[in-house]
């Protein structure tokens, strides 16, 4: 992978390549496992070794990490390979132990980001250090919580900050383990344009076959790095087996990924155009997904009307919706003609869905 643009300040200070590649197992399982993976990664584009030491699990009974013992394994891996190390910290005690074992980068997990109290505790524990801190998005799609966590670290004097996009939980599961919701990190970048943004495709995907495409989308959107879970024997990993890839697969992936290199005005134009088009692709997907969900509700309305023997067309309701949407469209500088065309098409599709339900098709 080649550098795509000027290095962010903290990447430059730590002499790290851009885009940054962080890799390693979901969980540190044994000393031998950590060292074997580290040695397999040292000749790839990965410069930072990740491993979960304390694993917050959704439900009890699952492997919750080896604890502080694993920090010694990371320290030994660093000594033997020269790779930097990173792990998740979830309280002040974790921070203290990680600092004592010379962990280079600390990340704040999605479950931690949702709690301002815990975020503040960790930020206070890091006051006065020059450690790099990466903040994962909260579990739920809440931009304010993510922004708040970033601001708490800034206010505590922690300046070497970055954020990790790991996707968002949703009640309705689709292709992904966690929905990407690309617009949220895009909005965060608008607020903090100089904040390095890293993708965690493993937790978004939940399965290894989706990881490459997610990484390419992130690079097309000018993300600054990737955090990819890797294991020499993914299928037998103690946690999150389905979403881990081998170091060899990571090496091939980083060769195949397309990096946008800025070398002149024409190239810069194409890079910006590709970035904007990728943003539109993301939004178009969201539009189709939203329309699909809307038609599912139309099906439910059709079933209710059938049960109550009520006519499909409700003229008063339709006129109210149309008037409301025209006014809202004006706020976004959308012409009345455009809104009418769009909503007439949506209304017709909704009627078609309800007809099918009522006729039993």
**pLDDT for 332-356, tens place per residue?**
999 998 999 899 999 999 999 988 9
Residues in the chain: 361
Q: What is the pLDDT of residue 61?
A: 59
135/161 Cα distance (integer angstroms): 8
Please compute the mean of the pLDDT values over residues 277-295 and round it to a whole number: 91
Token digits of residue 287:
């539009």
CA angle 112, 177, 149 (to 5 degrees): 25
**pLDDT for 120-158, tens place per residue?**
999 999 998 888 999 999 999 999 999 999 999 999 999
The domain defined by 267-359 folds into Chorismate Mutase Domain, subunit A (1.20.59)
Q: Nearest to residue 96, comparing CAs of 117, 124, 132, 75?
A: 124
Lowest mean pLDDT, pick from 2-11, 216-225, 310-319, 329-338: 2-11
CB-side exposure of 252: number of CA atoms within 13 Å?
A: 6
20/2 Cα distance (integer angstroms): 11
62/53 Cα distance (integer angstroms): 14
Q: How far is CA 41 from the centre of its chain?
A: 23
The CATH architecture that domain 9-261 belongs to is: Alpha-Beta Barrel (3.20)
pLDDT above 60 (res 263):
no
**pLDDT for 65-87, tens place per residue?**
688 999 999 999 999 999 999 99
Give me the residues paired with residue 121 across strands: none
Q: What is the pLDDT of residue 5?
A: 38
Q: What is the pLDDT of residue 4?
A: 30
Tell me the H-state helices in the chain.
9-13, 31-41, 69-81, 92-100, 110-113, 116-125, 143-155, 183-191, 201-205, 211-220, 247-256, 265-308, 315-331, 336-359
302/360 Cα distance (integer angstroms): 10
Q: Nearest to residue 49, comparing CAs of 85, 82, 18, 12?
A: 85
Q: What is the pLDDT of residue 15?
A: 57
Greater pLDDT, 18 or 13: 18
Q: What is the pLDDT of residue 261?
A: 56
Q: What is the pLDDT of residue 3?
A: 30
129/161 Cα distance (integer angstroms): 12
Please compute the mean of the pLDDT values over residues 24-40 and round it to a whole number: 97
340/16 Cα distance (integer angstroms): 52
Give me the residues paired with residue 226 across strands: 21, 199
User: What's the sign of the alpha-carbon dihedral 236, 240, 246, 249?
Assistant: positive
Q: Nearest to residue 245, comparing CAs of 219, 215, 288, 284?
A: 215
Please compute the mean of the pLDDT values over residues 37-44 and round it to a whole number: 96
Q: What is the pLDDT of residue 359?
A: 85
Give me the torsion for CA of 234, 236, 242, 245, rounded to 10°: 0
Q: How far is CA 317 from the centre of its chain?
A: 39
85/90 Cα distance (integer angstroms): 17
Residue 260 to residues 73, 213, 220, 303: CA-CA distances in angstroms?
36, 15, 7, 50
In three-state secondary structure terms, 187 is helix
For the chain, give every domain's residue range: 9-261, 267-359
Please compute the mean of the pLDDT values over residues 43-60 and round it to a whole number: 83
Q: What is the pLDDT of residue 1?
A: 35
């Amino acid at each position: 992978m080649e550098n795509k643009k000027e290095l962010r300040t903290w990447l430059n200070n730590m002499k790290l390549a851009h885009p940054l590649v962080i890799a390693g197992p979901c969980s540190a399982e044994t000393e031998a496992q950590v060292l074997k993976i580290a040695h397999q990664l040292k000749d790839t584009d990965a410069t930072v070794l990740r491993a979960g030491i304390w694993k917050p699990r959704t439900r009890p009974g699952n492997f919750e990490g080896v604890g502080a013992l694993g920090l010694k394994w990371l320290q030994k891996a660093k000594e033997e390979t020269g790779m930097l190390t990173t792990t998740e910290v979830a309280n002040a005690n974790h921070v203290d132990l990680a600092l004592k074992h010379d962990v280079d980068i600390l990340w704040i997990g999605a479950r931690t980001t949702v709690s301002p109290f815990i975020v503040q505790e960790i930020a206070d524990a890091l006051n006065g250090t020059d450690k790099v801190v990466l903040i994962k998005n909260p579990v739920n799609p809440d931009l304010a919580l993510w922004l708040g966590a970033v601001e708490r670290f800034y206010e505590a004097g922690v300046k070497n900050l970055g954020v990790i996009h790991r996707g968002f939980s949703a009640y309705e599961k689709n292709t992904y383990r966690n929905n990407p919701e690309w617009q949220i990190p895009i909005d965060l970048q608008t607020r903090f344009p100089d904040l390095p943004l890293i993708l965690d495709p493993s937790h978004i995907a939940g399965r290894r076959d989706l990881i490459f495409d997610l990484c390419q989308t992130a690079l097309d959107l000018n993300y600054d790095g990737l955090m990819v879970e890797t294991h020499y024997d993914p299928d037998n990993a103690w946690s999150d087996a389905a979403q881990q890839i081998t170091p060899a697969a990571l090496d091939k992936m980083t060769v195949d990924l397309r990096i946008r290199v800025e070398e002149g005005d024409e190239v810069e134009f194409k890079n910006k155009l590709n970035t904007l088009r990728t943003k539109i692709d993301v939004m178009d997907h969201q539009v189709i997904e939203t329309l699909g969900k809307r038609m599912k509700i139309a099906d439910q309305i059709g079933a209710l009307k059938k049960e109550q023997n009520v006519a499909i067309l409700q003229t008063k309701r339709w006129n109210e919706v149309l008037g409301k949407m025209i006014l809202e469209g004006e706020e976004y500088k959308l012409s009345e003609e455009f809104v009418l065309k769009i909503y007439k098409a949506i209304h017709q599709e909704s009627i078609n869905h309800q007809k099918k339900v009522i006729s039993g098709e």
